[in-house]
Amino acid sequence: MQRKLSLQKRAKLQFPVSRVDRLLRGRQGSLRLSSETPVFLTAVLEYLTANILDLAGQEAGINHRVRISPEHVQRALMNNENLRCLFQPMINGDTGDGWRG
């Protein structure tokens, strides 16, 4: 008898698909989701994380460091045009909810 593979293993992902699925379905207002939705979202999150960590690692190497620090991640986000547009509110400290406190 062959063991059933998890969605994470079938999609060849490192991030847990089941956790993303649970978090998506736990939100109020998310009544109907396709079974592929958590797999796709997990793949996108994993791709973005790998891209950011790669750029932050390059920033750390430029500064002759072995470990990635939060400053390296911030510099990587600011130096990449696409990531800067995606994360602009977070870099500036804006929460996006209209509240300025």
- Are the C-beta atoms of residues 53 and 70 closer than 8 Å to each other? no
Q: What CATH number is given to the structural domain containing 45?
A: 1.10.20.10
pTM over 0.85: no
Backbone angles phi, psi at 2, to 5 degrees: -90, 135
**pLDDT above 70: percentage of residues in the chain:** 82
What average pLDDT does the segment 72-100 reach?
A: 77
- Confidence label for 101 from pLDDT (cuts 50, 70 and 90): very low
The parent domain of residue 54 ranges over 7-25+33-91
Asked if residue 2 is part of any domain, the answer here is no
Asked if residue 1 is part of any domain, the answer here is no
Asked if residue 98 is part of any domain, the answer here is no
Asked if residue 52 is part of any domain, the answer here is yes
Domain count, the chain: 1
Asked if residue 96 is part of any domain, the answer here is no
Backbone angles phi, psi at 39, to 5 degrees: -65, -45
What average pLDDT does the segment 45-63 reach?
A: 96
Asked if residue 82 is part of any domain, the answer here is yes
